[in-house]
Amino acid sequence: MRKAPVYFFSEEVKYTLKNKIRIRNWINETIVAEGYQLEELNFILCSDEYLLAMNQQYLKHDTYTDVITFDNSEGLKTILGDIFISIERIQENAGQFKSTTEQELCRVMIHGTLHLLGYKDKGKAAKTMMTQKEDQYLALLNLKPASSPL
């Protein structure tokens, strides 16, 4: 099996992502299950301030966020993109939602990926569909309970 072109980088944070191969394959399988082909997908784990600056510059939003997705695809049914994720937001959200940092990080990774697959999260119906898809694909990753490491 060819290595899925999913890459992980960090900017302004030190964070070691566990189970990279498993996560890489899971992301690719999600994309294929939705009828798309993966060209390349980059996950950039960064600081709150780094993502805030991107949010201000590219989206003209002056707020902190956990994820920003950039779709660079040129062809139909292909995925080429960059997903920037604030590790600080993920850690805070994990505490708020009583999950692990790894579980929350995977939720946000699949959330960003689903945006590239055409799913939206504005409006009640779209948000409900997005959450259902997140849950569907997270179940395939088989994350450990909050009390266990990933």
What gap in Å lies between CA 89 and CA 94, rounded to an integer?
8
Alpha helix ranges (H) inside 7-150: 20-33, 48-59, 87-96, 101-116, 124-141
Answer whether 41's CB lies under 8 Å from 27's CB: yes
Q: Is 61 annotated as a binding residue?
A: no
DSSP state of 145: P
3-state secondary structure labels for all residues of 38-52: EEEEEEEEECHHHHH
Q: Is 115 annotated as a binding residue?
A: yes
List binding-site positions: 111, 115, 121
Binding residues for Zn(2+): 111, 115, 121
